[in-house]
Amino acid sequence: MDLMNLQDDIDAFQKLIFAHFRGSANNECRISALVPQVKESYGIYRFIISMLRAMYRRTESMDALEPLKDRYDHQHFSLRKFYYECSNLKYLTGLINVPKLPQDPPSLIDSGDTPDLPRRPPPQQQAKKPTPPPAPPSDGIDIEEQRRALEEYERKQAALVAQRDADARRLREDQERQEREFAEQQRLQQQREREAQEALERQLREQQMMGMSQGRMAELEREILGLRGQWERDQMMLERYDAVRPSPPLSLSLDLPHS
């Protein structure tokens, strides 16, 4: 009953995960949460089949097991639907092998590959052999068989836990690697933006310096033109001055008588 309750909890949790899937993409984290659900539910499913078959072999009243049988059938169909939905997720099938359940629940009367439990000795045989040492009671044998089954279940659970931890570690490493790659891309992008900004500023400074040089050259050219015009005006003034300047007076010699 505890295992069946746990199976129902797993079924409710996987439905909650599917209900929160996004319509577009980016469901890898939610799909990864289904990995332990698939593995643990399948281990419980096989263990319940083994225990129910043993109980059917040990009891003569089939009606007493009918509630368990009904609940087992219901969980089989729920698991089959769950595994079918998981098999359509390519990301999940790349992580684990999703079980495939048959259309109908496996028979609990057929022993299959489950070992048979030893039967209780009939009362007549116990009465005929009072002297030999008493054989261990069948209840002890049942308990020993259950103990071995529980040890096998715990071993499988430990393997599932190890596998789940390995999957979680691999996912964590992938996430860390993606974060490092994203950080490196951001750093390169920032570096490219900084280099482009520096090149633009350098180009603006060069254009500004070139503009200043051109302005200085234009100013010098204006000064040269002004000086040339001044020189030409001075030349014209000198030529005019030379043109209007009077000629020097003639010198007259007078012969004066000597005393």
**What are the pLDDT digits (tens) for 188-243?**
989 998 898 898 888 888 888 887 778 888 888 888 988 988 898 888 888 888 77
pLDDT of residue 26: 76
Q: Pick the more confident residue, 114 or 245.
A: 245
How many other C-beta atoms can be found within 10 angstroms of the C-beta atom of residue 42?
20
| Domain ranges (residues) in the chain | 2-116
8-13-18-22 Cα dihedral, nearest 10 degrees: 170
For 181-202, b/e burial (b = at least 16 CB within 10 A) is: eeeeeeeeeeeeeeeeeeeeee
Q: Percentage of the chain surpassing pLDDT 90?
A: 21
pLDDT of residue 20: 84
On whether the CB atoms of residues 52 and 106 are closer than 8 A, the answer is: no
- Among candidates 95, 90, 4, which has minimal Cα distance to 41? 4
Q: What mean pLDDT do residues 97-112 have?
A: 83
For residue 101, pLDDT beyond 70 = yes
What's the mean per-residue pLDDT of the chain?
Answer: 80
Q: Which residues contact 27 (CB under 8 A, 6 or more apart)?
A: 21, 91
pLDDT of residue 134: 43
pLDDT of residue 255: 53
For residue 10, pLDDT beyond 90 = yes
- Among candidates 46, 45, 47, 38, which has minimal Cα distance to 18? 38
Q: Which residues contact 73 (CB under 8 A, 6 or more apart)?
A: 105
Backbone dihedral region of 112: left (phi > 0), alpha (psi from -120 to 50 degrees) or beta?
A: left
**Which amino acid is located at 128 in the chain?**
K
pLDDT of residue 118: 41
For residue 5, pLDDT beyond 70 = yes
Q: pTM to 2 decimals?
A: 0.43
On whether the CB atoms of residues 53 and 111 are closer than 8 A, the answer is: yes
On whether the CB atoms of residues 38 and 99 are closer than 8 A, the answer is: yes
Q: Any idea which of 45-54, 78-87, 107-116 has the lowest mean pLDDT?
A: 107-116
| Tokens read off for 63 | 């009606």
pLDDT of residue 143: 62
Q: What is the DSSP letter of 254?
A: -
| Tokens read off for 103 | 């259309």
Q: Can you spell out the DSSP letters for 133-158?
A: PPPPPHHHHHHHHHHHHHHHHHHHHH
pLDDT in tens, 193-203: 889 889 888 88
Q: What mean pLDDT do residues 19-24 have?
A: 78
